[in-house]
Amino acid sequence: MELFDALVQRASVRKLKPVEVTGADLQRILDAGRRAPSGQNFQPFDFLVIRDPDTLRELSRAQACIGDVTLAVALVADPEKSRWWLEDIAAATANMLLAITALGYASVWIEGTLLRQEAEHKRLLGIPENLRLMILLPIGQAAEAVAQAPKRALEDMVHRDRW
Ligand SMILES: Cc1cc2nc3c(=O)[nH]c(=O)nc-3n(C[C@H](O)[C@H](O)[C@H](O)COP(=O)(O)O)c2cc1C
Phi, psi at 42, each rounded to 5° = -75, -25
Nearest alpha carbon, ligand 1 atom 18: 12
148 touches 113 (CB < 8 A): no
Nearest alpha carbon, ligand 1 atom 30: 109
**Cα 13 to ligand 1 centroid, rounded to whole Å:** 9
Phi, psi at 125, each rounded to 5° = -95, 0
Strands 71-77 and 141-142: what pairing?
A: unpaired
Per-residue pLDDT of the chain (163 residues; tens, 9 = 90+): 899 999 999 999 999 999 999 999 999 999 999 999 999 999 999 999 999 999 999 999 999 999 999 999 999 999 999 999 999 999 999 999 999 999 999 999 999 999 999 999 999 999 999 999 999 999 999 999 999 999 999 999 999 999 9
Residue 75, CA distances (Å) to 43, 140, 146, 160, 162 in order: 12, 17, 24, 36, 38
111 touches 89 (CB < 8 A): no
Q: Which ligand 1 atom lies nearest to the CA of residue 113?
A: 8
pLDDT at 139: 98
| Burial degree of 20 (CB within 10 A; 0-12, 13-18, 19+) | exposed
Q: Which ligand 1 atom lies nearest to the CA of residue 11?
A: 26
Domains in the chain: ranges and CATH: 3-157 (3.40.109.10)
Convert the pLDDT of each residue in 63-83 to its tens digit.
Answer: 999 999 999 999 999 999 999
Convert the pLDDT of each residue in 109-122 to its tens digit.
Answer: 999 999 999 999 99
